[in-house]
Structure 1
Amino acid sequence: MTERNISADSPEKRAAGIAASRMVESGMVVGLGTGSTVAYTIKELGRRVREEGLEILGVVTSYQSEMLAIEAGIPLANLAQHPKLDIAIDGADQIDSKLYAIKGGGAAHTREKIVSASARHFLVVADESKTSIQLNKAVPVEVLPFAKTLVIKKIKELGGKPELRLGLRKDGPVITDNGNFVLDVNLGVINDPEGLALKLSSIPGVVEHGIFSNVDELYIGKKDGSVEIVRK
């Protein structure tokens, strides 16, 4: 996705993305997430760099966000250079009333989790359709290709229904930026996100799962262009 690909406007996503960008100040090192809502944040930060003289460095979570940031004119760095980020801004596939989130629809959740854990403040942007009282969407799980069969077996023992994510325009599985496979695991309503996260992390061959428990703040874009802010 490049900047010109977000021309199909979504008022909710645009409102949340732009509102979140206002949390960024000159001198900050900013984690830049992946997805259609945070794309508006990246575009707005690029405008501020060009028009307002905003001085920031971006640390990207995927090739997608890298391309967007370069096109927007945001100078980039990496975690080796800046291991502590001031803020990370990202989207979510679903987020519940306690700010537990599911991410990984773009297969970038491993890098997104690393970047968000490196930030002093982790902010999520979303439209109302992504909010829920409890999590119930499939959880993306990145796995080593060598371990796929074992991981599937262990997840089924937990009561999950794993499905290998396949490419849309190619034969075979989706390959992450890290060279791994993704399993989308249906677990029904998730009553204990932290407990489930620990169980998934304990399976040999699991690189990372898409349950995030470190969200500090949520910006929810509304259809009328307003933004609701929820904090822990």
Structure 2
Amino acid sequence: MNPTAAANSPAGALTLAQEKQVAAAAALRWVRDGMLLGLGTGSTSAQFIIQLGAAVQNGLKVQGTATSLASEALARQLGIPLVAPRRGLRFDLAVDGADELDGQLRLIKGGGGALLREKLLETASNYLLVVADSSKLVPVLGRFPLPLEVVPFALPWVLDAVEALGGAPVVRMIKDDPAAYYYSDQKNLILDCHFGQIADAERLATQLKTIPGIVEHGLFLGLAKAAVIVKDGAALVLRPGEAARPAAEFAELP
């Protein structure tokens, strides 16, 4: 862990960066030899990939498919064997972060711009495990803007339709070049939509699916089976409708 970051946190507390490391280490306990893994995108997923790479270098035998070019490059760098998409491919376990999650493990994802590939791989997974720091758990989704991946040609009409739903859409720009659009790995645009509190995520997901030009939305509903989240320095496992339990109680997929 970064000693400088630790020094800037309250005594006994972990920084968010340290929490990501703790969550990733807990998730790694569920990986077994021979598994085919979906590798997520984002800062917490990167921590998981780094720790998975160390385990592979120590003899763990797994294969994976990445949800983004950035995660793919990191996995290759660390020697994790990668598998290309093919018919019939299903993953034993997918491990990915979330921008927000609620107590029923409904998620907002797409802050890293990889929501289409994330949803593809995680729909093709037998088990989706979310890894998150303490800031990601919320009582109601919507504080984080909801990302949409959009076909560039359709942008004007999608903006109109999402605005009519109350989404206050903003086209995502490149961070270092605010005059240039950000494009996903699939060469689509990303809209960040400010709905405020999303009281009925299922209804909104259905409405967004009817808008032509939206390739995918960042509401991940009914996909996550469990989440590892760090609270007060300890990794806890959350499952829908159940009380949190210490991650140390789980040596494999629950």
User: What TM-score, normalized to structure 1?
Assistant: 0.93
Secondary structure, counterpart of 2:203 in structure 1:
helix
Per-residue CA distance 1:189-213 (angstroms, 9 max, x = gap): 0011111111111100000010001
Counterpart CA distance in 1 for 2:158 and 2:109 is 19
Q: How large is the RMSD of aligned CA atoms in angstroms?
A: 1.5
The AA in structure 2 aligned to 1:229 is V
Per the alignment, residue 19 of structure 2 pairs with: 12
Per the alignment, residue 118 of structure 1 pairs with: 124
Per the alignment, residue 177 of structure 1 pairs with: 185
Which of 228, 241, 254 in structure 2 is aligned with 1:219? Answer: 228
Counterpart CA distance in 1 for 2:31 and 2:160 is 44
- Structure 2 regions of 5+ residues with no counterpart? 6-14, 241-254
Per the alignment, residue 146 of structure 1 pairs with: 153
Per-residue deviation at 1:82?
Answer: 5.8
User: For the Cα contact (< 8 Å) 2:68–2:114, is it kept in 1?
Assistant: yes
Per-residue deviation at 1:78?
Answer: 2.1
2:111 maps to 1:102: no
User: What TM-score, normalized to structure 2?
Assistant: 0.85
2:206 maps to 1:204: no
Secondary structure, counterpart of 1:216 in structure 2:
strand
Per-residue deviation at 1:79?
Answer: 2.4
Counterpart CA distance in 2 for 1:81 and 1:54 is 26
Counterpart CA distance in 2 for 1:38 and 1:109 is 14
- Structure 1 regions of 5+ residues with no counterpart? 1-6
Per the alignment, residue 77 of structure 1 pairs with: 83
Per-residue deviation at 1:156?
Answer: 1.1
User: For the Cα contact (< 8 Å) 1:14–1:221, is it kept in 2?
Assistant: no
User: For the Cα contact (< 8 Å) 2:104–2:239, is it kept in 1?
Assistant: no
Which protein is bigger by CA-based radius of gyration? 2
User: For the Cα contact (< 8 Å) 2:128–2:226, is it kept in 1?
Assistant: yes
Per-residue CA distance 1:120-173 (angstroms, 9 max, x = gap): 000100001011011022100000000000001111111110000011123311
Per-residue deviation at 1:223?
Answer: 4.8
The AA in structure 2 aligned to 1:79 is P
How many residues are paired up? Answer: 224
